[in-house]
Structure formats: C-alpha cells, structure tokens
Structure 1
Amino acid sequence: MNSKRLALGIGLALALLIQSGCSVFGNRGGQPVETPSAQEINDEILYGDRGRPRGTIWDIFRARPDQGQLGSVNKYIWNAALETLDFLPVQSVDPFTGVIITGYGTPPGGGRAYRATIYVNDPSLDARSLNVALMTRNGPADAATVRAIEDAILTRARQLRGQDSRL
C-alpha cells in the first residue's frame, strides 16, 4: 500500500511537471494574439460589410470649418489680390502657400511698370494676413504706393465677403 501511494505521488508530480512544461515548449514565438477591439466587433455586428456610417443627421448642428479659406489662406484676400492687380501678368500662383508672383505690367493710366509679389499668410481677413512687395524697373516702389495697393486689396476683400454674406 505504501508503494502504491508513492507511485501515485510520483505520477502526479510527473503530470504536473509535464503540464507546466507545455507552456514553455509549446509557444516559442512569444507573439501576442491580435484581436479586434470591442468597438470594431460591435461595428461589424451592427453594420456588417457596409461599415460605420460616416455621418448622421446630427452633423448639421456641428461647427463647420470657415468657408472663407482656400488652402491655408483667406479666399477673399486671394481673389481680391488677383482682381486688384489684374493688369499685371501672373507668372506663378500657389493657393496652399499663399504666394502670387506677377511679371511687369503698367497700370491703366500710368506710365511706370510694376512687378508684385503677394503673400497671403493667414486665413483671417485682416491687414496682417497680407504682405505686398512691389518693384519697379529701377528698384523698390514707394512705401505709399505699396500701402495704397494693400488698402485696395483689403477693401476689395471686404466687399467680396459682404457679397457672400448677403447670399
């Protein structure tokens, strides 16, 4: 009887050793199992292959981005600059960086040729959003001329915004 107990104890100890050793030898990679999140599982159950809807009826009450932006610049200042300086031939435009580069042109009724580089650097409609560099064939233009061009562009931008708000 004593030998039977001893054999049973050794058998149980061997079974425990074998069972504890299974986890060491069975999974050598150590890679975690990737499972979808609970939200993904619920979405698949609820919506199937269609996926979660992109919008709801309540989206009409959420705040929308400013419609006055074109890329990262204000569309009113951008369009006003193009309209105000339409007598200058446009060489390069980039609405995402806000740069308009023109060639030499003579204003209507004027005798001096100008070239302009306009930089719209902010989506807001104010004076700090606009930088104008005006050149003549002899060098930089007068500061008063540059100021008058900036004022004309900003005035036209405000007019364009007023027209949009009335619609």
Structure 2
Amino acid sequence: MKTGKTFAKLSSIAAILVLTACDNTGPSKPPVSTENRNNTPVDIQARQRIAGQGRETIWDIFDNQSDSNTTLEVNKYIWRASLETLNFLPIQTADPFSGVISTGYGTPPGGGRSYRATIYITDPALDARSLNLSLQTSGGRAVDADTRRAVEDAILTRARQLRIAEGKL
C-alpha cells in the first residue's frame, strides 16, 4: 500500500517537473502584423492569446488577470435536477461556483450494480450542452453511451419541470 502511494507521489512530481521544463524557447515566430489584407487594424493581444503566445510557463495559466470578483455561473435548475435525479448516490464534493458535483458509489433503486457520477455544469443556460456527465461502474469502467444519455435526459427533463414549476418559462 505504501509503495503505491509513493509511486503516485513520485509520478505527480515528475509530471510537474516535465511541465515546468516546457517553455517558449522553440523557433521564433514572425512578428504579428497590425494590419490584415484589407489594411484594417487587428487586435494583436487577441491573436497572441489564440496562438498561445504571451505565456512564459505553465503556471501562467493560474494567473488570473481578469476581474477577481467575476464568478462562474451554472444553471440552478440543472444543478437541482442533478442532485434530485442522482439522490441515491452519496455526494462527496459539490462546488456550485465551478459547477462540479462528484458522488461516491451507490446502487440505483431496483438495480444491482453500483455507480458513481461526476456532473459538470458549464453554462447558465438550460441547455443540453450545459451538462456533462460521467458515470462509472464499481469496477471503474465507464457505462455505455445509451445509459449515460438516458441519465442526462432524466436530469434535463427534471430541470425543465423545475423551471416550469417556478413559473419562469
């Protein structure tokens, strides 16, 4: 048991060292022009962001240069519907600010196999694209696409019912 934990720690440290060793010392790129073919101004910073320029190390990803008071928004109906639909699964973590719900293993009513789920709500819109669901069996295998899609449909149907019940449709 101790050997497994040691290996996991060492592999994590090795991955971090490899990522921090990466830098922008590759072949230099030609300077970005301030005009396009039609001789109109171009946002150089936007083009650099798209090209991945302007970052020195992997740690720059965590440098939040935007407004620190900005929060991520998730759809409250999908959030509540996810908790209600998967109420047979014990919640391990739930972060409404990032939209992630992680559950432990649980057996659905009338079922014989245990599952765990990770739900990621990416958008405040009540839309199927806002919901990402991952289901695993107790053996660690992902469930088939039809089962996952059926659970997603159940969550989205319940979210629509909650929205209609609240009278905001």
Could you tell me which residue of structure 1 aligns to residue 106 of structure 2?
A: 105
Normalized against structure 2, the TM-score is what? 0.56
Counterpart code for 1:165: G
After superposition, residues 86-165 of structure 1 pair within 5 angstroms as 86-138=87-139, 139-165=141-167
In structure 2, what is the Cα distance between the partners aligned to 1:141 and 1:90? 19
Unaligned runs of 5+ in 2: 1-70
Unaligned runs of 5+ in 1: 1-69
Counterpart code for 1:134: L
Counterpart code for 1:73: V
User: Residues 95 and 166 from structure 1, CA distance in 2 versus in 1: closer, same or farther, beyond 3 angstroms?
Assistant: closer
Normalized against structure 1, the TM-score is what? 0.57
Counterpart code for 2:80: N
CA deviations over 1:108-141 (Å, ceiling 9, x no partner): 0000100000000000001000000000022111
In structure 2, what is the Cα distance between the partners aligned to 1:137 and 1:109? 16
More helix by share: 1
Q: Which runs of 4+ in 1 moved over 2 A?
A: none
Shift of 1:71: 5.7
After superposition, residues 5-154 of structure 1 pair within 5 angstroms as 72-138=73-139, 139-154=141-156
Shift of 1:162: 0.1
Identity across the alignment (%): 68
CA deviations over 1:34-88 (Å, ceiling 9, x no partner): xxxxxxxxxxxxxxxxxxxxxxxxxxxxxxxxxxxx9610000000000000000
The alignment covers a number of residue pairs equal to: 98
